[in-house]
Structure 1
Amino acid sequence: MNRNEPAQLTHDERLANCHIISERLHRTYGEQVLAIGVYGSMARGTDAPFSDIEMFCVLRNTDEKADECSYEWSMGSWKAEVDVRTADTLLHEAAVVEGEWPLTHGPYFHVLSLYDPEQFFPRLRKTAESVSPMEFKLAIEEVLVGEIMELVGKLRNAGMQDNFAYLPYLAMQMAHNGAMLIGLHNCKRFTTGALVMPEALTMPDRPAGFDQLAELVMSGCLNDPPRTVAVCESFWDGLETWAFKHDYIIHIRRFPF
């Protein structure tokens, strides 16, 4: 029986599969293809033996609605994902800053080109690099209010209701969103989801309390409810001071409408 599970591949073996995928994309989309590239760990040259394949297939802009989609499949021993997008769609996505920007936008900066005769991928990178500081500020404020302040409310409810099983999840979510804030504040991207916490700890101007929260989460020692709550509350206190220092708005005096 064939086993369906990740198998070890070398970088060159994985790259050979990328070229096979590229050939099939050319046959499927023909002259619509503007560019094809690989992103993720393969593009950075940091792929590990069990890494998957992530690719862009960029279609030319036309007056007709393009068949944009994402293919994600397993070939038994390896997995691949191909995002089929028009050039305009990718350029628009690259220019958007949202809360997960430090984790999600790496693909727009680092693409291993397999086919790009019109130099689309350098244009994509330039677009991603041209975002205004105000866009980062707005994204930071959205994370502060829309994510972390909401998590603090849930944390306090969990403590009052003795729902201690919920606390580890809340602590992990607070640490993750704290790392996103630090990445946004420094306009820096994380190389991979596996290194969000360690890389955030190397960035400057971190809110007080983040280091202790990140270290607690990375240690996995989240079975002490009073300590977990205290560390999370300390981080929230540090965030309020940090936000005031950098003019990030958490509280407003009037309704926004």
Structure 2
Amino acid sequence: MMHYPVKKTHEERLQLAQEIVAKLKERYRDNLLAVAIVGSVARGEDKDFSDLDMIAVIQGAGIADDFNAIIDGLKYTIDVFSQDIILGKITTVHMRWPFLAGKFITAIPLYDEQGVFAAYKETFQTLVQRDFAPYMRQVFVEEIYEECNKFINTTCTGSMSQAYYNAYHLFTKFAIFLGIVNKSFYTSAVALPERAMALPINFPSFRLLGRFVTGEVIYNPKQLRDIVEGMMLEVIDYLRSKSIEFETREISFKL
């Protein structure tokens, strides 16, 4: 009986990836446009028990599927998309965009005779030439403002454990917001705190919250509330400096 979890090497993951490519060619034949590895294996950062994550691009429209399995203790995931789905994920800027875009433009092709993944990088570079002010406003109104208020409420009425848990949650959302502000992307949730705090456009209070999240310092709920209130004021000042209006004086509905 096999002992779990099972250690695997980087080379073993790459070997399985090549076997998967061959199987995908058999399944989709001429409809298969490209196959790539993503995640820790693509970055060369996979560890003993890392999974194998892959993307397959096929001809068609509106196709989004996935295959998951475990072979000899190694879990693999293959996300199968048609080109229109992938282009939509790269060019539609919302709360998950920094991770979704990062996934596709940092993929390492194993089969790509038409340069599909290189084209995705070009699409991303074209996108970030746009004015991101509408996206910043949308994410701030839909996500950040509400999350900051929820957190402040928790520090006033909730337990210490709730405040600490919500601090990590808020930090992650704010880090993603900063990815949009900086027109940047993320490739790893593990590396998110370090990368987010190093982005050029940043906020002092966010870095203070980051020191707590990374375990560098410990704050009590009152201190955390002060930091988050400061963070909210800093981002509001930034938005206003960019002439981004996020508050209205009347009820309106945009169709």
TM-score (norm 2): 0.88
Query: Who is 2:122 aligned against?
Result: 126
Any runs of at least 4 consecutive aligned residues in structure 1 with deviations exceeding 4 A, and if so which?
132-135, 220-223
Query: Who is 1:12 aligned against?
Result: 11
Q: Which moved more, 1:160-169 or 1:204-213?
A: 160-169
Kept after mapping to 1: 8 A contact 2:57/2:80: yes
**1:31 equivalent in alignment to 2:27:** no
Quick one: structure 1 residues 31 and 220, their matched pair in 2 at CA, closer, same or farther if it must change by over 3 Å?
A: same
Query: Who is 1:227 aligned against?
Result: 223
Distance 1:250 1:172 in 2: 25
Q: Provide the aligned C-alpha RMSD in A.
A: 2.3
**1:175 equivalent in alignment to 2:171:** yes
Distance 2:178 2:219 in 1: 26
Quick one: structure 1 residues 135 and 38, their matched pair in 2 at CA, closer, same or farther if it must change by over 3 Å?
A: farther
1:135 CA drift (Å): 6.2
1:47 CA drift (Å): 2.7
Which of 98, 103, 110 is 2:94 aligned to? Answer: 98
Which of 206, 209, 215 is 1:213 aligned to? Answer: 209
Give the % identical residues: 23
Distance 1:231 1:210 in 2: 8
**1:69 equivalent in alignment to 2:65:** yes
1:221 CA drift (Å): 6.0
Query: Gapped runs of 5+ residues in structure 1?
Result: none
Kept after mapping to 2: 8 A contact 1:168/1:223: no
Q: Which moved more, 1:129-138 or 1:85-94?
A: 129-138
Kept after mapping to 2: 8 A contact 1:3/1:76: no
Distance 2:134 2:40 in 1: 29
Partner SS state of residue 130, structure 1: helix
Distance 2:38 2:156 in 1: 45
Kept after mapping to 2: 8 A contact 1:106/1:190: yes
Quick one: structure 1 residues 204 and 132, their matched pair in 2 at CA, closer, same or farther if it must change by over 3 Å?
A: closer
Query: Who is 1:2 aligned against?
Result: 2
Distance 1:162 1:46 in 2: 39
1:220 CA drift (Å): 7.4
1:74 CA drift (Å): 2.3
Query: Who is 1:155 aligned against?
Result: 151
Query: Gapped runs of 5+ residues in structure 2?
Result: none
TM-score (norm 1): 0.88
Distance 2:165 2:132 in 1: 27
1:83 CA drift (Å): 0.7
Count of residue pairs brought into register by the alignment: 253
Which of 188, 192, 201 is 1:192 aligned to? Answer: 188
Query: Who is 1:78 aligned against?
Result: 74
Distance 2:18 2:58 in 1: 17
